[in-house]
Amino acid sequence: MNENVKVISPTSRQEGHAELLMKVDDEGIVTKGMYFSITPVRGLEKMVLDKSPETAPVLCQRICGVCPIPHTLASVEAMDAALGIEVPKAGKLLRRITLSAHNINSHAIHHFLIAPDVVPEDLFTTAVKSVGEVRKATQFVVDTIAGEGIHPSDIRIGGMARNISPLAKEKLIDRMKGLKGTLENHVELIKDLVYKADFPEDLGKVDVPLFASDKTYGNPDAFEFAKFSEVLPEAWYGDEEVGKRACTVIPLLDGKNVETGPRARMEKFSGFKGKGTTAQHIARAEEMLISYADVLEKLDELDTSAPARAEYDPRGTGELGIGVVEAPRGTNVHMAKVVDGKTQFYSAIVPTTWNIPTMGPATEGFSHELAPHVIRAYDPCLSCATHVMVVDEEEKLLKNEHMKL
Q: What are the structural domain ranges in the chain? A: 4-404
Q: What is the largest CA-CA distance in the chain?
A: 71
Nearest to 325 by CA among 218, 176, 207: 218
pTM for the complete prediction? 0.93
Rounded distance between C-alpha atoms, residue 370 and residue 199, angstroms:
9
Instruction: Select from 16, 101, 136 the least CA-distant residue to 65.
Output: 16
Q: Give the contacts of 50 (CB within 8 A, at least 6 positions apart).
A: 342, 343, 344
pLDDT value for 388: 53
Question: What's the pLDDT tens digit per position in 30-62?
Answer: 999 999 999 877 788 899 999 999 999 999 998
Q: Does domain 4-404 have CATH number 1.10.645.10?
A: yes
Residue 203 φ/ψ, nearest 5 degrees:
-60, 125
- C-alpha distances out from residue 188 to 122, 131, 274, Å: 17, 13, 17
Residue 49 three-state SS: coil
What local confidence, expressed as pLDDT, does residue 394 receive?
57
For the chain, report the end-to-end CA distance as a whole number of angstroms: 42
Structural contact between residues 115 and 128, judged by C-beta atoms closer than 8 angstroms = yes
- The values of phi and psi at residue 337, to 5°, are -135, 130
SS3 129: helix
Amino acid residing at 253: L
Q: Which of 143, 80, 113, 88 is nearest to 12 (CA)?
A: 113
Q: What is the pLDDT of residues 215-255, one digit of tens each?
A: 999 999 999 999 999 999 999 998 889 998 998 999 999 99
Closest CA to 111 of 133, 91, 94: 133
Q: How many of the other CB atoms lie within 10 Å of CB of 329?
A: 29
Q: What is the pLDDT of residue 66?
A: 83
pLDDT value of residue 387: 58
Full strand arrangement of the beta sheet holding 18-24 = 4-8, 18-24, 30-37
The DSSP line for 65-81 is SSSHHHHHHHHHHHHHH
> Within the chain, which residues score under 50 in pLDDT?
1, 389-390, 395-405
